[in-house]
Structure 1
Amino acid sequence: MIQLSARRILLFFSLLMTLAACVRKATPTEAATGPVTRVYIVRHAEKDLTPGLTDPPLTAEGQTRAQALAAAIPRQTRLSAVFSTNTARTRTTAQPLAAARALPVLLYEARDLPALAARLRRDYPNQNVLVVGHSNTILETVDALGAPRPVPLIPDEAYDYLLEVRLPADAALPATAVAHHYGVRSH
C-alpha cells in the first residue's frame, strides 16, 4: 500500500513538473506594464505641391485624410491634448480631431523635439496625446521619446502612417512604438 502511494505521489509530481514546463511566461511586451502615456504621431496630410508656396495648404485629398484622422483614434480613447507645428498643413490636419474632442491645437517647435518629449512626459503622464509633424520629424519624435523606431524610414510620399508610442509610468520599463496606417493608403 505504501509503495502504491509513493508511486502516485511520484506520478503526481511528474505530471506537475510537466505542466509547469508547458506554462510560458509572458514577455515584458506581453505583460501588463501598468499605466502608460500614449503619444500618437502623424505627419500632416497631403499638401499642395505648387512650387513657391511658403506655407502650402492641404489638398482636397489632404482634407479627406484629416477627417480620416479624426476617425482613426477611437472615441473611447480619451485625448488630453493635440499638438501641431505652426504651419497651415499641420494645424489643418490636427483641426478636425481637435474640434471633435473639443481640444485646442497646441503649438510646438519642430526644431526642439527633446523639449516636446520632456513636456509630454511631464505634463501628460498616463494620458493620450496626438502630435502632428512632418515627414522629417515624426520618426525623430519617436527617437526623442526614447522608443525604437517602428519603421526604418517614412518615404516623402507616405502620408498614412499613424505611429503609437507607449511610455510606461515605470521609468524602468522601455518605451515602445508601433506603426499603423489610417485613411486611404498613400501612393
Structure 2
Amino acid sequence: MRGTMQAVAHSADGERKTMTKVSMMSWKQADRVGAVTGSLRRAALLGVAMIGAVAVLPQVAQAQPSLVILVRHGEKQPTPANDPSLSEAGVARADALEKALAGATPGTIVVTATKRTQETAAAVVKRTGITPTVIALSGAHVKSVADAVMKASGVVLVVGHSNTVPAIVNALGGPKLPDLCDASYATMFVFQPARDGRAAQLVTSSYGTPDAPGASTCAPPSR
C-alpha cells in the first residue's frame, strides 16, 4: 500500500496541491514509531501535516468540528435497486473504515436512511456506541448534513453517496468537486473547516481495497 497511497491537498478555492516533503516526512516518522497503520490512517496523518493537529485532537468543547471525514458507502448488492445492502466487498470496506478510524475516533456519525450508508458505518457505530444521525435524501439533504456537521464538535464521520459527498464538502466551505464515479468506493475526504482566520483545508485520499483502474473515469454514477 505504501507505494500506491495517494493524497492531494486542496485549498478552499479549489486549487490542487501535491503533498510537500514535510508532509511525507511526518508520515514516515509516524510509521517508524507505529503510530499509524493502514492506508486510511496514513491519510489521516497526512491531514495532520497539511491541515493541523488531527492525531492530537482538542478535548474541549468546540463551536464547530475539528475534523470531518467523508466517505461514500461501500460496494453494494445489485438488488434491490431502491435500497440494496452492502456486498461482501462493501462489508470488507466497512471493516477497513472502522480500523482506519481508530486513530481519529468520531464523536458524531452522519448517515442517510439507506441500508448501504448505515451498514458502512456499522462497525464504527458498534465500537464507539454512537447513535448515528440519520438525514433523509431530500432536496435539502446537503444543507441539512452541513448544518448538522457544523453544530458538532471533535471528529465527524459522514457516510454518503457519490453525488452527495462532494456537494457536502463544498457546502462545508471546501472546493467544488465533481460527483464520484459509480465504480469509486475507496475515496476519502479529510476536511478541516475554516477557523480563527485559517482557511478551510481538504486532503483527498483512499482507504481499504483500492478502486479498479479507470474507476475515476466514468459515466453518470448510480449513487
Q: Normalising by structure 2, what TM-score?
A: 0.62
Measured against aligned partners, the alpha-carbon deviations of 1:81-104 in whole angstroms (never above 9, x if no partner) come to 111000001100011011111211
Say yes or no: does 1:48 pair with 2:77.
yes
The match for 1:185 is 210
The match for 1:57 is 85
The match for 1:160 is 186
Superposed, 1:49-88 pairs within 5 Å as: 49-50=78-79, 53-73=81-101, 75-88=102-115
- Read off the aligned partner of 2:205 and give its amino acid letter: H
Q: Secondary structure at the match of 2:125?
A: helix
Instruction: Tell me how far apart the structure 2 counterparts of residues 186 and 63 of structure 1 sit (CA, whole Å).
Output: 15
Instruction: Tell me how far apart the structure 2 counterparts of residues 49 and 185 of structure 1 sit (CA, whole Å).
Output: 20
- Read off the aligned partner of 2:189 and give its amino acid letter: L
- Give the Å deviation of 1:32: 5.5
Q: Secondary structure at the match of 1:157?
A: coil
- Give the Å deviation of 1:109: 3.1
1:139 aligns with one of 151, 154, 166: 166
- Give the Å deviation of 1:118: 2.0
Q: Secondary structure at the match of 2:99?
A: helix
Would the aligned equivalents of 1:65 and 1:184 in 2 still touch at CA under 8 Å? Answer: yes
Report the CA distance shift for 1:153/1:87 in structure 2 as closer, same or farther (over 3 A).
closer
2:147 aligns with one of 111, 118, 132: 118
Gaps of 5+ in 1: 1-28
What percentage of residue pairs aligned between the two structures are identical?
Answer: 30
Measured against aligned partners, the alpha-carbon deviations of 1:117-170 in whole angstroms (never above 9, x if no partner) come to 122212x23x10100000111100101101115x65521101001111101432
Report the CA distance shift for 1:30/1:143 in structure 2 as closer, same or farther (over 3 A).
closer
Instruction: Tell me how far apart the structure 2 counterparts of residues 82 and 162 of structure 1 sit (CA, whole Å).
Output: 15
- Read off the aligned partner of 1:45 and give its amino acid letter: G
- Read off the aligned partner of 1:162 and give its amino acid letter: M
RMSD of equivalent CA atoms: 2.3
- Read off the aligned partner of 1:135 and give its amino acid letter: S
- Give the Å deviation of 1:62: 0.6
The match for 2:39 is none
Instruction: Tell me how far apart the structure 2 counterparts of residues 120 and 53 of structure 1 sit (CA, whole Å).
Output: 29
Report the CA distance shift for 1:30/1:116 in structure 2 as closer, same or farther (over 3 A).
closer
Would the aligned equivalents of 1:44 and 1:133 in 2 still touch at CA under 8 Å? Answer: yes
Report the CA distance shift for 1:31/1:95 in structure 2 as closer, same or farther (over 3 A).
closer
Instruction: Tell me how far apart the structure 1 counterparts of residues 180 and 211 of structure 2 sit (CA, whole Å).
Output: 11
Q: How many residues align?
A: 153
Instruction: Tell me how far apart the structure 1 counterparts of residues 127 and 67 of structure 2 sit (CA, whole Å).
Output: 19
The match for 1:11 is none
Instruction: Tell me how far apart the structure 1 counterparts of residues 51 and 89 of structure 2 sit (CA, whole Å).
Output: 40
